[in-house]
Amino acid sequence: MQPFTYTKVADTRAAVAAGQRGGRYIAGGTTLVDLMRETVERPAGLVDIAALPLRGIRVTPGGGLRIGALVTMAEAAADPRVRGTYPVISEALELSASAQLRNMATIGGNIMQRTRCTYFRDVTAACNKRAPGSGCAALHGINRSHAILGTSSHCMATHPSDVAVAFAALEATVRLLGPDGERTVAFRDFLLTPGTTPEREHAIRPGELITAIEVPALPRPVRSGYLKVRDRQSYEFALTSAAVALHIQGGVVRAAKVAAGGVGTVPWKLAAVEQHLTGKAPSAQLWTDAAARAADGARPLDHNAFKVELLKRTVERQLRVVGGGQ
């Protein structure tokens, strides 16, 4: 590990000032410390934001939820308002990591976590994300776990977060505080596909700090849930996953929110699936036909073509679970 400075801040203004000077924010530390040990990350200074008043979950005036950036994964998963209104969020959290990690890791840190591409974490391998311009060892290497959507020839690593898939499906908003004050960014614009600059992973500006995630209110009644498919039943990242929320009233799907994980370089909103569902009567055939659109635009690599069919089946199964027709 490289030498680094450590600063603990007690208010957001001091945090932003320290971030502006180049400090890296750290809270639970469940990703960054690992990466520093492996010398993948070499920050000159850490800014400990764990004491900032960014905890707490509250209902917004519009009836949605604001989840503070420093709420832990375990706290968010257990919150009765999250469980009652957005089970897709609590299920995504409970299917993530381990109990110990969920007790430490924060919601803000979760969506900022970096890819689990093994070449990214191997400092002897070529990796455009870690060392821009060095190449991509995954392109012709072992790419079974890599993305099939949103890729470029520069990078095809998946975003590893589960709860980010739920946030993408629900069209959440990220609240940021920076040197120029507060601003909000739609979740779909927050995480960036690699393009020619895979080292740029999010829309945060220098010094900006995530203060909260806001989830909009959904029309009632609504049912939602998260399905994660992986090589083993716990402590494993998704091969595919599906976050689904359906508002069904009067025998018709009035609104559908669907996103996929484990397949995209960012959590992948399935707009074609949503469009196919909306305005139609729920049926087993509807779930099958909608899910058939889940992999539209997929570009498999040498070892991950199986994800195309697996994604469709994952989405279809979760549509059945949430929408009925099991």
Which of residues 129 and 320 has its CB atom nearest to ligand SF4 in the complex? 129
Tokens of 47: 């800014």
The interface region with ligand SF4, picked from 77-85, 135-143, 219-227, 229-237 by CB under 6 A, is: 135-143
Number of residues engaging ligand SF4 in binding (CB under 6 A)? 14
Q: Give just the sign of the alpha carbon dihedral 274, 277, 278, 282.
A: negative
CB of 192 to ligand SF4, least distance (A): 13
40 near ligand SF4, judged by CB under 6 A:
no
Where are the strands (E) in 49-162, listed by range? 57-59, 65-68
120 near ligand SF4, judged by CB under 6 A:
yes
Rounded distance, CA 257 to CA 246, Å?
A: 6
155 near ligand SF4, judged by CB under 6 A:
yes
CB of 134 to ligand SF4, least distance (A): 8
List 47, 136, 259, 310, residue binding ligand SF4 (CB under 6 A): 136
Tokens of 122: 């191997």
Rounded distance, CA 123 to CA 37, Å?
A: 11
CB of 276 to ligand SF4, least distance (A): 31
CB of 13 to ligand SF4, least distance (A): 35
Task: Give the count of beta carbons closer than 10 Å to the beta carbon of residue 189.
Answer: 11
CB of 230 to ligand SF4, least distance (A): 19
The interface region with ligand SF4, picked from 84-92, 120-128, 213-221, 222-230 by CB under 6 A, is: 120-128
Tokens of 141: 């290497």
List 97, 156, 277, 298, residue binding ligand SF4 (CB under 6 A): 156
Q: Report yes or no: 255 and 156 within 8 Å, Cβ to Cβ.
A: no
CB of 124 to ligand SF4, least distance (A): 12
Which of residues 103 and 197 has its CB atom nearest to ligand SF4 in the complex? 197
Length in residues, the chain? 326
Nearest to 148 by CA among 314, 301, 289, 45: 301
127 near ligand SF4, judged by CB under 6 A:
yes
Check residue 192 and report its DSSP letter: -
Rounded distance, CA 306 to CA 317, Å?
A: 17
Chain positions 279 to 308 lying near ligand SF4, rule: CB under 6 A, are none
List 94, 106, 113, 129, residue binding ligand SF4 (CB under 6 A): 129
- 100-119 mask for ligand SF4 (x: CB under 6 A)? ---------------x-x-x
Find the helix or strand (DSSP H, E) in which 133 lies. Answer: none
268 near ligand SF4, judged by CB under 6 A:
no
List 52, 70, 95, 157, residue binding ligand SF4 (CB under 6 A): 157
Q: Report yes or no: 212 and 69 within 8 Å, Cβ to Cβ.
A: yes
What's the Rg (C-alpha) of the chain?
19
CB of 200 to ligand SF4, least distance (A): 12
The interface region with ligand SF4, picked from 6-14, 17-25, 105-113, 136-144 by CB under 6 A, is: 136-144
CA 5 to centroid of chain Cα atoms: 29
Rounded distance, CA 66 to CA 82, Å?
A: 10
193 near ligand SF4, judged by CB under 6 A:
no
* β-pair partners for 244: 225, 258
240 near ligand SF4, judged by CB under 6 A:
no
Rounded distance, CA 285 to CA 278, Å?
A: 14
Residues of this chain that bind ligand SF4 (CB under 6 A):
115, 117, 119-120, 127-129, 136-138, 155-157, 198
